[in-house]
A and B are shown apart, each in its own frame.
Chain A
Amino acid sequence: GQSLEQPSEVTAVEGAIVQINCTYQTSGFYGLSWYQQHDGGAPTFLSYNGLDGLEETGRFSSFLSRSDSYGYLLLQELQMKDSASYFCAYSGNTPLVFGKGTRLSVIA
Chain B
Amino acid sequence: DGGITQSPKYLFRKEGQNVTLSCEQNLNHDAMYWYRQDPGQGLRLIYYSQIVNDFQKGDIAEGYSVSREKKESFPLTVTSAQKNPTAFYLCASSSGGPGLGGYTFGSGTRLTVV
Contacts and interface: CB of A to CB of B under 8 A. Distances in A.
Instruction: Decide whether A and B assemble into one complex.
Output: yes
Interface of A: 8, 28, 30-31, 33, 35, 40-45, 48, 87, 89, 91-101
A98 B103 CA distance: 12
B16 interface: no
Interface in B58-114: 58, 90, 98-108
Q: Chain A's interface: helix, strand, loop or mixed, by majority?
A: loop
Using C-beta atoms within 8 Å of the partner chain, give the interface range for chain B: 20 to 34
Contacts of A41: 107-108
Contacts, number: 63
B40 interface: yes
A28 B40 CA distance: 26
A91 B105 contact: no
B51 to A, nearest CB: 14
Contact of B105 (A40, A44, A97, A99): A44
A98 B58 contact: no
A95 B40 contact: no
Given A42-B107, A42-B108, A95-B33, A8 B40 contact: yes
Contacts of B41: 100
